[in-house]
Structure 1
Amino acid sequence: MLIAFVALLLSPVNVDASVDLRTIIDRYTVWRGGIAFEHLSSIRESNTLDSGGLHGTEKILTARDGRSRVDLDLGPLQQIQAVTPDGAWEVTPAAQVQSMALIDTLSLRRSAALQFADALRGRGGAKVELAAPTTDSGRTWATVRVTFGDDDIYDVLVDPVSGELGGIRVTAERQLQIERFSDWRPVDGVRMPFLKTIEGAVPSDNETHRVITMNINEPAGPGSFTRPSFIRKTAFTGGASSTGWLHFEFYDGNRIFIPARINGHDTLALLDSGATVSTIDNDYAKQIGISAAGRVTAGGTGGLDTAGFAGDVDVEVGNLKIAGLTVASLDLKPIARRIGHPMPFVLGDELFNELVVDIDFPHRLIAFRDPTGVAPPPGAATVPLRRLIGNRSVPVSVEDAPPVEFEFDLGNGSPMEVYPAYYQPRQLLAGRKSSEVLGGAVGGFHPEIIATLRRIEFAGVTFNDVPASFTRDVVSASNSNRVVGNLGLPVLARFRLLIDYPQDRLYAVPLADAGSSAFHKDRLGLSMSGENGVLMVQFVSPGSPAQAAGFKAGDQIAALNGEASALWTDERVALLRDNSGTAPITFLMMDGSTRRVIPKAFY
């Protein structure tokens, strides 16, 4: 077989570059090894991997029958992902076993279909067509476009004359990455790439995979893809099955801070169901002796940021402990200044993944419970929790349209965000009065369009006049086409919530005034942050009372209504966001001048 393959490689191919799709696919098949490539049944490889400043290894097993497994070891960041025809599972960096998100499942399945060229033959529901030629790396390639019935696009770049594979350009979740292949070597008659580089949406997404060993057509034992047994990472002391009720700080009515201990150090942690990995502030990590490594991309509502990873972090909440976590390390201070509250630690999915989180908002109480035997409380609506992308999502109806998936996000302080994939084709902003506010979080802060939705429906409750931000069409966590928005705490806090990730469900009991009380709405148009006893204006909303009063970004405020300015307080936030008040607010500026603003609606 190898001799025949070498003969194929040496045979010249003298044809015109203008060829049809079938000819290009046939030439690609011959270039890869002809019959040997067509009979390829499995690929087992071990690689070195450089990604985001981390260096380590990966083991990949891919079978033609739809099974694949990736074992990743990047020091502090370790993960296993596996798919079979019947499902998909992963072992997270926290060593928790859970079902894999749909986006990752599709990525592995489609990658396998492309590796074995089944997708190029239109198998497995793939649609194949010849797109316009692509210029890449100084060469012009035929572009074999593969789609699978959704918005994702896989452009396979093939030399139209020789059949050489140059790479695959992937557009998924409205983001672009290019995989390039080189250092091709024959392995049992099949030409295989021993070097793969990935160029992502941002430089920290880039990866380099170098093959150490590669074997093909080895039987893939069923045990390789068997889902591991559940191993609980969380533990209650004294044989308890719950923390019982714990008091939490409901800062500004849209952030949950709970008392916690990080490696034995008492602190307040932000509870954030939108964080797939718990996160520690860089400076706080150094302060308590935690070191991080690497620089990988972290997606946030404000865009993309870079994060390190730290292992062996113990988190305690009341009598509950989860030991040996791997957490992300980020600079959280810009977010803390923006909201006016210290943010040393963000507690993410690790506790949600194993426990039921019970939140009683009117009494400011929270409990973490063993999911065994948890039943819906009287009057609860049962809402499905889906994992289409990294975060869970829930169905929401926007202005009487059919329900669509919105991220379930306890860390979002605004009522809701709507992503471009939903609002642009539906022209939701057409004829709607709007302005801009400073939005975002991890990844930075940027102006976002703000407008009012007439109605939304969630968990059987209709909400009227809902302020919503319409996020920018850029690379960020707020730009998906599978989950088209983000439902935040101002809506979610109108229910008693029992959040049950283990059973993929949410019990929501509406409060008495859930659908009737008005949402807080910005009536000034000032985006500010507090630091060193001064309020700094970061952004002024177009058409707002603040703009009419002459405010500009960079202005410094010394006092509000005669009281010295400092970091945000609940009282000051209430003053600035009062829904009904029309009494003027007097601002004393640092230069000694005063400005008088009368609040009113401006979007």
Structure 2
Amino acid sequence: MMMIKLNINNRGPYNFILDTGVGLMVITEPKLIDSINVVNPRTIKLAGLGESDSFEAFVTPHLNVHIPGLLSSNISAAVLKTDYFNLSGYVGMPVHGLLGYEFFNNLAVKINFTDSTITVCSPKHLKPFKRSQKIPITIEEQKPYMNAMITFPDGNRISNKFIIDLGAGHPLSLENLPQNNALPKKTVKANLGVALNGPITGYVGRMAAIEMGKYKIKKVITSFPDIDYIKRNYSVKRDGNIGLGILKRFNVIFDYTNNLMYLKANERFNAPFEHDMSGMEYYTAGENLNHLIIGRVEPGSPADIIGLIKDDEITSINFKPVSKMSLEEIDAYFKTTERSLLLEIYHDKKYDRVIMTLKQRI
């Protein structure tokens, strides 16, 4: 995730995920409503993908939002009454909310994934990257969309409309294949993330390629949400979304004012796409988010074969305590290459050491 620090009503700093997939600013930490001195907020219902029904949030009066170099007034936000996302647990650091359309609306936003910097300016002063690819986009319902060509495993090429979603960790998601019974032959069952009202389940496989302007990216890890969890009532018709797993292979400029996005490949462009090879999902917990808890184990996977189960705690990997690692480092252990790992597990009030042999599953 792309994290940015900001102050609200002269309080903070708070950690917000930069997310083109949201319109209204979302505060996911309910306690913030007291910290930023919000008075008389009104209540609304929010609905989205997932398992549960609509849920409630407060809508704040106008807030003052300060990011180094920028001060915005009259910004409204939705404050969730309950932290449904548990973003802090899945990111491995405190997360207080999501910042989307309000940040991108009147600015040209240049994101350099090479050195992890964001530069903003007035669109009229924008200087694109040299030799970058200009991509037409549309801004619909406060979100950016683009067309990209998908090559399917059977060689068919189809143009699809995608939301450009910096807040989605996956590379690519296609929402029209499950309902057409056209999934790739090799897929694995997976939890695909958390949407507005709960987790989204589905499958993960590969598409042969995606073409974005002059760029062609091959063997792309792709998510396929279950049709039971997709409500086909979007006000903007789309085929899926392009997430951070693809976007971080470029340095990117968003220019909403002129309906443009600029892409320039960076050093990550040719890196192979790999998915988790353990068959387990995990999150961080505890006051300091330094406990790694298994949330789900896929039947028949390497994690299942060695007897790991939900709620087991992983305390070390190859003798290195997980409390000393970021979630990004931990992810790299489980999806970089096929190999064996020595894990220390806390289970039934005792510690065990087990060897897990990773296996590429898609």
TM-score band by shorter chain is: 0.7 to 0.9
- Which of residues 348, 351, 359 in structure 2 aligns to 1:592? 351
| TM-aligned CA distance change 1:552 to 1:336, over 3 Å | same
In the alignment, structure 1 residue 461 sits paired with structure 2 residue 208: no
Contact 1:261 1:316 in 2 (8 A): yes
Distance in structure 2 (CA, Å) of the matches to 1:477 and 1:424: 12
Distance in structure 1 (CA, Å) of the matches to 2:21 and 2:251: 18
Distance in structure 2 (CA, Å) of the matches to 1:407 and 1:448: 19
Contact 2:145 2:161 in 1 (8 A): yes
Q: Secondary structure at the match of 1:592?
A: strand
Distance in structure 1 (CA, Å) of the matches to 2:117 and 2:104: 16
Distance in structure 1 (CA, Å) of the matches to 2:248 and 2:327: 17
Distance in structure 2 (CA, Å) of the matches to 1:536 and 1:565: 11
| TM-aligned CA distance change 1:571 to 1:484, over 3 Å | closer
Q: Secondary structure at the match of 2:123?
A: coil
In the alignment, structure 1 residue 378 sits paired with structure 2 residue 133: no
Partner of 1:363: 115
Aligned CA RMSD, in angstroms, stands at 2.5
- Which of residues 312, 317, 320 in structure 1 aligns to 2:70? 320
Contact 2:49 2:200 in 1 (8 A): no
Distance in structure 2 (CA, Å) of the matches to 1:536 and 1:567: 15
In the alignment, structure 1 residue 286 sits paired with structure 2 residue 40: no
Distance in structure 1 (CA, Å) of the matches to 2:43 and 2:291: 35
Partner of 1:180: none
Distance in structure 1 (CA, Å) of the matches to 2:233 and 2:240: 8
- Which of residues 538, 546, 561 in structure 1 aligns to 2:295? 538
- Given the two structures, how large is their TM-score scaled by the length of structure 2? 0.86
Offset, 1:570:
4.5
User: Quick one: which amino acid aligns to residue 310 of structure 1?
Assistant: T
In the alignment, structure 1 residue 260 sits paired with structure 2 residue 260: no
- Which of residues 387, 391, 394 in structure 1 aligns to 2:139? 387
Distance in structure 1 (CA, Å) of the matches to 2:49 and 2:359: 31
Distance in structure 2 (CA, Å) of the matches to 1:592 and 1:285: 41
User: Quick one: which amino acid aligns to residue 254 of structure 2?
Assistant: I
In the alignment, structure 1 residue 401 sits paired with structure 2 residue 187: no
| TM-aligned CA distance change 1:479 to 1:493, over 3 Å | farther
Point out where structure 1 has 5 or more consecutive residues left out of the alignment. Answer: 1-254
Offset, 1:317:
1.2
User: Quick one: which amino acid aligns to residue 323 of structure 1?
Assistant: S
Partner of 1:80: none
Partner of 1:434: 187
User: Quick one: which amino acid aligns to residue 61 of structure 2?
Assistant: G
Distance in structure 1 (CA, Å) of the matches to 2:325 and 2:142: 32
Contact 1:471 1:478 in 2 (8 A): no
Number of residue pairs matched by the alignment: 345
Offset, 1:302:
7.4
Q: Which whole-Å deviations, capped at 9, do the CAs of 1:553-584 have from their partners, x for residues lacking one?
A: 23233333334444961564244334225132
User: Quick one: which amino acid aligns to residue 361 of structure 2?
Assistant: F
Partner of 1:307: 57
| TM-aligned CA distance change 1:525 to 1:479, over 3 Å | farther
Distance in structure 2 (CA, Å) of the matches to 1:459 and 1:267: 36
| TM-aligned CA distance change 1:338 to 1:597, over 3 Å | same
| TM-aligned CA distance change 1:437 to 1:503, over 3 Å | same
Higher relative contact order (CA 8 A, sep 6+): 2
Distance in structure 2 (CA, Å) of the matches to 1:518 and 1:547: 26
Residues 61-460 of structure 1 correspond to what in structure 2 (within 5 A)? 255-265=1-11, 266-280=13-27, 281-290=29-38, 292-299=41-48, 305-330=55-80, 331-332=82-83, 334-399=86-151, 400-419=156-175, 421-425=176-180, 427-430=181-184, 432-441=185-194, 442-460=196-214
Partner of 2:326: 569
In the alignment, structure 1 residue 551 sits paired with structure 2 residue 324: no
Q: Secondary structure at the match of 2:124?
A: coil
Q: Which whole-Å deviations, capped at 9, do the CAs of 1:399-453 have from their partners, x for residues lacking one?
A: 152321111011111111111x34532x4315x1111222222322243211122
| TM-aligned CA distance change 1:360 to 1:490, over 3 Å | same
User: Quick one: which amino acid aligns to residue 341 of structure 1?
Assistant: M
Distance in structure 1 (CA, Å) of the matches to 2:295 and 2:339: 24
Offset, 1:487:
0.5
Contact 2:16 2:97 in 1 (8 A): yes
Q: Secondary structure at the match of 2:138?
A: coil
User: Quick one: which amino acid aligns to residue 311 of structure 1?
Assistant: P
User: Quick one: which amino acid aligns to residue 366 of structure 1?
Assistant: I
Contact 1:336 1:342 in 2 (8 A): yes
